[in-house]
Amino acid sequence: MTRRPTAIMAPRAHRPRISEALLLCGLILSLSCSTVPITGRQQLNLIPSSTIHAMSFDQYDQFLQEHRLSRDRQQVRMVERVGRNIQRAVETFFAEKGQEAQLRGYEWEFHLVEDEAVNAWCMPGGKVVVYTGILPITRDEAGLAVVMGHEIAHAVAEHGAERMSQGLLTQLGGMALEKALESKPAETRSLFLAAYGIGSQVGVLLPYSRLHESEADRLGLIFMALAGYDPHEAPVFWERMSASKGGAAPPEFLSTHPSDQSRIRQLRERIPEAMEYYRP
C-alpha cells in the first residue's frame, strides 16, 4: 500500500489560523477605508482623527518653541490672511458637500518662521508653517496661496494618516493606534514621524508619493480658486520654483515636491476644472 506524502502539508491546526489572519486583514481593509475629497479615491485609514490631532498639536507646539517666529508684521499678516482665506474655502467646500464632519477637531493656525529654507507644510488639524525663505519665490498672495493650498490639501486629504495606517498594518499587524501607543510607544512615534515626514528636525518633510502629490495639486488648485486666487498662478509659481535651484542642490521644498515640466503641464490641464470654483 502506497503511503501519501505528508511532509509538504501544513499541520491542520495552522490552517485555520492562517485563514483567520487573512480574514482579519480583509476585514480591517474593508472597514477602514475613507474617500479622498474630489478625486473619490478609496484610501486606508486606521487612525482616529482625535488621536492623530492630539499627536499633531503636540509636535506643532514643540516646533514653535524651537523656532523663531517672524517679526515682519506685513509678511506675518499676509500669511495669516492667505491662510484664513483658504481655511474658509476648505470649510465652504466641505459644507456644500455635506461633509463638515471631516474637519471636526481642526484648530487652524498659520505661522511664519524665520528660516532661509524654501519650505512650508501643514500638519493634521490645520497646523500650518511657512518659512520666510519661500516668500521671494511666492512673491505675492497668489503665489503664497498656491503653496498653502497645496500643503493644506495634503492634510485635508489625510495623506499622512494613510501612510501611517499602512505602517500600522505592515509593521504592527494592523494594531489599533491607541493600543499601539500603549504597548509600543517608541515604534508608534517613529511611524508618526515617518508618515508625516518628520525626521531629525520637526517640519522637514519626506517625499510624498506621486499619487499624493497629484491629489494635492488638484485639491490645492480648487481650494485657492474658492479662496479667490486665480488658479493660473499655480503653474507660474512652479516654474519659478523649478528655476530657483539654478543648477545647485534643490531647495527643501523641491526635494519633497518634485517640480518638472510634466507636473506644470498637468496643472495647466486641471485649470479649467479649478476655474469652475473660482470666486474672485
Residue 225 has pLDDT above 90, yes or no: yes
* pLDDT tens-digit map of 71-130: 999 999 999 999 999 999 999 999 998 989 889 999 999 999 999 999 999 988 999 999
Grid cell at residue 138: 511666492
> Could you give the 3-state DSSP secondary structure of residue 206?
coil
Total-model pTM: 0.75
**pLDDT confidence of residue 85:** 98
> Could you give the 3-state DSSP secondary structure of residue 47?
coil
The count of structural domains within the chain is: 1
Average pLDDT over residues 135-163: 91
Q: Please, where are the H alpha helices in 157-277?
A: 159-171, 177-183, 185-195, 210-226, 233-244, 252-256, 261-275
Q: Is 151 a catalytic residue?
A: yes
Report if residue 17 sits inside a domain: no
Grid cell at residue 178: 491607541
Lowest mean pLDDT of 115-129, 220-234, 239-253, name the range. Answer: 239-253
Report if residue 6 sits inside a domain: no
As a residue count, the chain comes to 280
Output the CA torsion sign for 95, 96, 101, 107: negative
Grid cell at residue 24: 482579519
Report if residue 204 sits inside a domain: yes
Report if residue 189 sits inside a domain: yes
Report if residue 8 sits inside a domain: no
Average per-residue pLDDT in the chain? 77
Q: At what angle do helices 159-171 and 141-156 cross, to 10 degrees?
A: 30
Report if residue 33 sits inside a domain: no
From 107, 109, 151, 213, active-site residue: 151
Nearest to 149, CA basis, from 262, 71, 207, 230:
230
DSSP 69: B
**pLDDT confidence of residue 198:** 46
Report if residue 226 sits inside a domain: yes
* pLDDT tens-digit map of 189-215: 555 555 555 443 444 444 556 777 888
As beta bridge partners, residue 35 has 42
What residues make up the domain containing 224?
42-275
| Calpha distance 207→174 (Å, rounded) | 24
Report if residue 34 sits inside a domain: no
